[in-house]
Amino acid sequence: MIVKLTVEGTQYEYDGDRLLVAEARELKAHTGFTPPKWFAALDESDPDAIAFLIYLAKKRAGETLRFSDLDSLDYADFEFEMEFVAPEAEQAADQAEVQSEPDPTPASGETGTTPTPDTSATSEPSPTTSSTPPPTSAP
């Protein structure tokens, strides 16, 4: 998931599929949210969740700031949208995987077993595959 942010006229992108442990620790320290709760709070437009999203996007872009620097940010000075876009390499790999996997489900009317030749009740056992000796006639 890619989140596109515009903050005070500057555009940022946040890769939502990547969160370092250090970033998750900062998230918890500044907001009290764990990553799953943060994503839920973003859906609810929680101000702390939004502030951390902006903080993280700016930090990843190389800006130096403190989380508290965002306290004076006006809601009118930012906007964001979420796009569910997988990187092109992942899309190509996903498509190749789907195309190369055979369908294990048997076709309609098939049992999924390998057919074997019919044997009749009068056939003699094969000496190479049977451990039972052939019948002998009594004297």
- What tens digit of pLDDT does each residue of 37-79 get? 998 998 898 999 999 999 999 999 999 999 999 999 888 888 8
Q: Is residue 133 part of a domain?
A: no
Q: Is residue 138 part of a domain?
A: no
Nearest to 78 by CA among 102, 104, 51: 51
Is 11 part of a structural domain of the chain? yes
Token digits of residue 26: 């900062």
- Domain of residue 37, residue span: 2-88
> What is the number of domains present in the chain?
1
> Count of CB atoms within 10 A of residue 24's CB?
14
* Tens digit of each residue's pLDDT (9 = 90 or more) over 88-130: 545 555 565 556 555 566 666 555 555 555 555 555 555 555 5
In a domain, 36, yes or no: yes
29 in any annotated domain: yes
Is residue 25 situated within a structural domain? yes
Q: Judge whether 99 lies within some domain.
A: no
Distances (CA, A) of 120 to 117, 123, 125, 126: 10, 6, 11, 13
Structure tokens at 112: 């999924």
